[in-house]
Structure 1
């Protein structure tokens, strides 16, 4: 069943193939070479389970899992034909024993257990056999502690097996819950179509959900929805692109890029027996190509050493006297400079294999918050941050000027839970005027979303480092800043309210904003004196906006130093120290209490 002849590019093809979408005639060999993707309109034709495994797994690595026998006809079901006859015909037509094919293998050398559905087999319907095989694949993944890849294609539950088919949703869900508890990565690749019980169970319970272009996913099909509600559906409803825009999948990936994307994600699985966070001696940061098109250079950040010759955290300034005197209002203006590096800028400079994930898995993909896994100096991390949009006004508006909606905080929470499951440190980059103040955000439960994030971060069992890279505005900033180490860039600010807002309320004059900024003590030096931040990240001489590459090097060195300080702490120690850090604020003997009386 896993013969190399099943590869999409090797399967026999007629001389010419007609694209189902654009009706273009395509030369058969060209169609095969393009992995059965139309070169004109990009339509992705369906692959068989055998073809899919041959395409995704490394050649020669596939080892089929043992088949699990199930009751063949639990209801003695007969419609126009007996159910056993339909099963027999499907087996003969597909060469499969059930609508899913499971195997162990590797993708670019990364081990994986793959369960691949085949729509040709009774519409990929979910019955007892499929449920048993998916469960067995999950158990194999759990036993071997290697990631599980689910490739879905289904019209829904298998009606011929009645309520027993429905029970497979619960059965497979339990199997995936065991992987969650064990910290084993689960990936889902949605192919066209994925509906019904599969969509409402294992297809959408993965840590990362990616979809092929045009793939449809939903509980009920479009015709059922229109017939039931009498409403016309919008163009592209339930397609991968529609789902991405509504926060229900993480990415849409063309077939040709799937292997590389999956390999990148599989690299997130950390061996529980391995030592977490080996010390990094040299940070290597790839810089972008210059305007003249010269090849990129490599910045090397050499670690500082103590007098005894050991590593030190000199990348982080910890004493107020190490900072130059700063005018509060000037710092506010620098913190808001539209050309300061964004989270995506820092990710591009610092992280190897960064893969942005999308959506809150409920209703939306808030563009004011971005995040995803990547490697910082070889260390897997989860990066999450506000995204203002840079110097482009249209882009800044699209990003809501970095002011998250409730969906943005729910997306943040989802990525943090994934990091906790996989044992990845969390790094947050904060640059926001505050949470989105609009009526839609209020209707969506903005206050609850922020509160849930505060509670979640307080109990994350992995190291958390937060850096205020620009503006740290009120609760919208704090929702990403309940961390073990809270840093701020030299020209960053952090405040309970904007200086303008404070001036309007207390001075009854917006022009008093500079005075309010001074009184609020929003700059890095004052925040360090108050103990609100644990350290300051240096910036290039003219500010981060003037040299993104150098700003990234400095930020990367500071985050690496902070993570190194935390890597030896157990989850229990992290939680205890994090709790203590925030508990002491405002108590007698705390720097913030003393400073407030000044």
Structure 2
């Protein structure tokens, strides 16, 4: 909490930062969105102040306060529960611990609910449960995204088991929003704990933690009193959660509004199952995908392998920057960690919102090491599956960009279920009810690549390759000589032309003269056009036909049967 004092000489109002305890001039603090300019600490906001910061001025239309029975237990500790409620209403000016309504954010309509920690510590009782459920129902009824801003110490003990059951009530509410194919975003602010964290606050399709926020199930003091163990210094802080894959993003207060606006824009309008319709692109009528023989004789397989591994070849992040618009990266598998070898998020391609998932390598030793050379751990594939599910719920097509020597084969990966994660990713993408287009942009190594390359279309860039094993690995096993890698590459038939001929790939994305690394912008333009063209065709299909064709494609692999 902040305290205010007025220096007698000037009469100006000052507040003390609750982070560093320095005195701050209140008008400057307000201009800085109540973030300390000295230490960066985010002061707690009232629900009304939060709404004013987030939404367009004058756009908020408040829902009527919920009417639920008060004091169902006849509870009294040192003070009767009705007296506590009355005091909280008098002190805060609010009827309960939430404020909700409809609003617009940079012109994007939404349903918004904000919790106020001042009202009995933001504790969740029946009134809060009803407010969350009602907000979710309004979102579904009006086909609007739902944004929830949380601040809570947990369940309201004065309502006993009825308070506990609000966890089920609110969890179901978020599940219904997801089933309706609508976006839900939970903004976790300081503090968010207990039954709120263990229910609706963790069920948003996108979880954003405000910088420095403390978020967890049990608080530090409870943990230390219950379990005799030392806690890390940054334990349960927003940044700690991001590192452990538990939230999608950590944002400073000034960046919350632009981020939410971009997310709302990318998810508008809500799509029916089967994809977000988008106008066909005007302009060129020639196919962006070329025949394997286009551009002269097919390159030698070993030359392709070397080109695919060129250190300056564009990465997934390069293509996201050059070929896509409005990319918002989402992090974490919500269970263990955030794997930097997999990049995932939502973006726009040729005016169509899409979900994008891709392997990420790097251009120098430092980045390659940080990204584990593009070799994912199980949490990377589980992050990918989380985005697969997001694509299906929201009706967005899925685009995957493949560039990996293979899945990481280390001890930790095995212990966390590497094979299971790959198998589940392949199975999940094979049945997604939205179009799936995969582009092998560099290396396509084994099952680690196939986990992101199972869908309706597989395209290979001209200087990319796709193989059951690396040429070096094949040479070492079968030739018993790694130096035979060029011979193995040719025997494995790994090039785009080979794979189209085998029926594994569906087309070849051309590259500029000298390869993608020679002109990344031109390469990105060719990739973007090829994917957009494929999506134009696939998004025109209804879901049943899409799944039928995909099933036939996969069923016929290696059997000599064509797609019906």
Q: TM exceeds 0.5?
A: yes
Q: Distance in 2 between matches of 1:46 and 1:405?
A: 37
Q: Structure 1 regions of 5+ residues with no counterpart? A: 1-12, 283-301, 306-311, 592-598
Shift of 1:321: 5.3
Structure-to-structure mapping, 1:127-526, within 5 angstroms: 127-267=125-265, 268-272=267-271, 276-282=276-282, 302-303=283-284, 305=285, 312=286, 314-320=287-293, 324-389=297-362, 391-526=363-498
Structure 1 length-normalised TM: 0.90
Could you tell me how far 1:200 is from its partner in structure 2? 0.6
- Cα-to-partner distance string for 1:551-570 (whole Å, 9 max, x where unaligned): 11110111111111111101
> Are the structure 2 counterparts of residues 133 and 528 from structure 1 closer, same or farther at C-alpha, using a change threshold of 3 Å?
same
Distance 1:220 1:546 in 2: 53
Query: Partner of 1:50: helix, strand, or coil?
Result: helix
| d(CA) in 1 for partners of 2:409, 2:536 | 37
Deviation sequence 1:238-266 (CA, Å, 0-9, x none): 11111111111111111112111101111
Match of 2:17 among 19, 30, 35: 19
1:550 to 522, 540, 544: 522
| SS of structure 2 residue aligned to 1:76 | coil
Give the alignment of 1:81-100 within 5 angstroms.
81-100=79-98
Change (3 A) 1:96 1:325: same
Corresponding residue SS for 1:560: helix
Structure 1 Cα separation of the partners of residues 381 and 268 of structure 2: 25
Mean alpha-carbon deviation: is it higher for 562-571 or for 463-472? 562-571
SS in 2 for 1:354: strand
Counterpart CA distance in 2 for 1:82 and 1:528 is: 75
Partner Cα distance (2:177, 2:119) in 1 = 27
After TM superposition, give the deviation of residue 278 of structure 1 in Å: 2.6
Q: Aligned equivalents of 1:370 and 1:211: distance in 2?
A: 19
What are the superposed Cα offsets for residues 120-161 of structure 1, whole Å, 9 maximum, x if unpaired? 001000111100111000001111010010000000101111
Contact map agreement 2:510 2:526 (CA 8 A) in 1: yes
Following superposition, the deviation at residue 378 of structure 1 comes to: 1.1
- On the 8 A contact 2:324/2:528 being kept in 1, the answer is no
* Cα deviation code 1:410-453 (max 9, x no counterpart): 00000110111111010000000000101000000111111111
> How many Å separate the matches in 1 of 2:452 and 2:269?
24
Deviation of 1:324 (Å) = 3.1
The CA deviation string for residues 347-391 of structure 1, in whole angstroms up to 9 with x for no partner, is 1112221100000000100000001111112110011100012x2
Preserved contact between residue 528 and residue 535 of structure 1 (Cα < 8 Å): yes
Q: How many aligned positions are there? A: 551
Listed as ranges, the gaps of 5+ residues in structure 2 are: 1-10
Aligned to 1:37: 35
Distance change in 2, residues 1:408/1:323 (3 Å): farther
Aligned-pair CA distance for 1:109: 0.5
Alignment partner of 1:571 out of 543, 548, 559: 543
Distance 1:347 1:23 in 2: 43
CA deviation map 1:183-219 (0-9, x unaligned): 1110110100000000011101011011110011111
Residues 477-521 of structure 1: per-residue CA shift (max 9 Å, x gap)? 000111111000000000000001001110111111111111001
Question: Hey, what's the Cα distance between the residues in 1 that align with 2:173 and 2:457?
Answer: 36
C-alpha contact 1:152 1:188 (8 A) present in aligned 2 = yes
SS in structure 2 of the partner of residue 233 of structure 1: coil
Give the SS at the match of 1:374: strand
CA distance in 2, matches of 1:42, 1:21: 8
Aligned partners of 1:253, 1:320: CA distance in 2, in Å? 48
Contact 2:246 2:332 in 1 (8 A): yes
Q: CA deviation at 1:547?
A: 1.3
Query: Is the 1:184–1:269 Cα contact (8 Å) retained in structure 2?
Result: no
Deviation at 1:322, TM superposition (A): 5.1
Quote the residue 1:294 is aligned against.
none
In the alignment, what sits opposite 1:112?
110
Q: Does 1:586 align with 2:537?
A: no
The answer as to whether partners of 1:102 and 1:115 remain within 8 angstroms in 2 is yes
> Aligned equivalents of 2:411 and 2:562: distance in 1?
38
TM-score by length of 2: 0.96
Report deviation, 1:319: 4.1
